[in-house]
Amino acid sequence: MAHNSGVPRITDATKVWTTLVTNTAYLSGLLTLEYSLRKVGSKYPLVALYTDTFPAEGHAALDARGILKQRVPYLLPSIPKDYANDVRFYDCWSKLTSFSLVEYERVVQLDSDMMVLRNMDELMEIELDPPAMAGAGNRVFASSHACVCNPLQKPHYPQDWIPSNCAFTSQHETPNVAQTEGASPTFGLGMNNGGLLVVNPSQETYDRIVSQLGSTATSNYEFADQSLLSDVFFGRWVALPYVYNALKTMRWEGVHDAIWRDESVKNIHYILSPKPWDESEDIRTGRVARPIRDASHSWWWETTEERVKEERARGVDDRF
């Protein structure tokens, strides 16, 4: 596929993984994500998309490890929504910049609180609408569904966030199918989870997104970027199976353990707090309280201890 964007790439690769970083709070997560991609033998590099809010010590940590980085604008809607209950959402809008990276043929945007357990390079080959369709087709991007069960019963979540509206609930009777197929993108609330987005960057599609950011609709978006995508492109995205964006809460008993299989998961998403790296005073001590409910956190620590050992062998030793 010829690319005529005219924008220089920071790597020879035409297909890349990207992750947004705006501060150092998620930096340990980003470093382990990058390590996990290499560990599973991905052919594609990770590019850290940083905003001007990302500090010098963060840049030093990326540079010391040779991680590619690229500046993106800090996006905010023109009508601000109050995310006092979920301040993380203020930073999430900038994830939408992945649609603007027209110098690449394919971008797979990952959240920094993810860790790859099995190679998923096939995401670089999934058929999506070509950029020339300008976001008007039925395969604008690929993503997994959001889990709308609200298992922690957060009072500020929408009233319709209940298990019967959750696409994953619809797959409980067919767990084998759930490993390889997503439920219909219009099932239930028809909302994707913004943690993993498979995108063919397109200036026209990005312009649609930016135009929506300038509209009054954003004042009703409870979940920032994923609310916008689910609204503007309702039903016109490819629903991936949960294994590509396996929310750690799905594994909990009574949530979606009916479909969850450890051995199928390709990419785990450590949503909500605490993050695995929040559970220790010092990432170097390894003295971590491993909560029974989130045994999956221990997977992160095992990989991170491996990463730190590899980095130290190369003379890289910082607090991340």
**Banded pLDDT at 237 (limits 50, 70, 90):** very high
Tell me what pLDDT residue 89 has: 53
Residues in CB range of 127: below 8 A, 6 or more apart: 139
Question: Distance of CA 72 to CAs 22, 94, 214, Å?
Answer: 10, 8, 18
pLDDT (tens digit per residue) in 140-168:
999 999 999 999 999 989 999 999 999 99
Give the 3-state DSSP-derived string for 226-269, with helices as H, strands as E and coil as C.
HHHHHHHCCCCCEEECHHHCEEHHHHCCCCCCCCCCCCCCCEEE
Instruction: Output the CA angle 41-102-64, nearest 5 degrees.
Output: 45
Instruction: Single out the residue of 53, 52, 45 nearest to residue 14, CA to CA.
Output: 45
Provide the token pair at 2.
């010829």
**Banded pLDDT at 291 (limits 50, 70, 90):** low
Tokens 């909990």, residue? Answer: 252
Q: Give this prediction's pTM.
A: 0.92
pLDDT (tens digit per residue) in 73-129:
888 777 665 645 555 555 677 889 999 999 999 999 999 999 999 999 999 999 999
Tell me what pLDDT residue 95 has: 85
- Work out the average pLDDT over 227-240: 95
Contact assessment for residue 193 and residue 182, using Cβ atoms and an 8 Å cutoff: no
Tell me what pLDDT residue 134 has: 95
pLDDT (tens digit per residue) in 177-209:
999 999 999 999 999 999 999 999 999 999 999
Superfamily for the 15-313 domain: Spore Coat Polysaccharide Biosynthesis Protein SpsA; Chain A (3.90.550.10)
Instruction: Single out the residue of 299, 249, 274, 309 nearest to residue 116, CA to CA.
Output: 299
Question: Distance of CA 110 to CAs 96, 162, 291, Å?
Answer: 11, 26, 25
User: In this model, does residue 305 exceed pLDDT 50?
Assistant: yes
List the chain domain ranges. 15-313
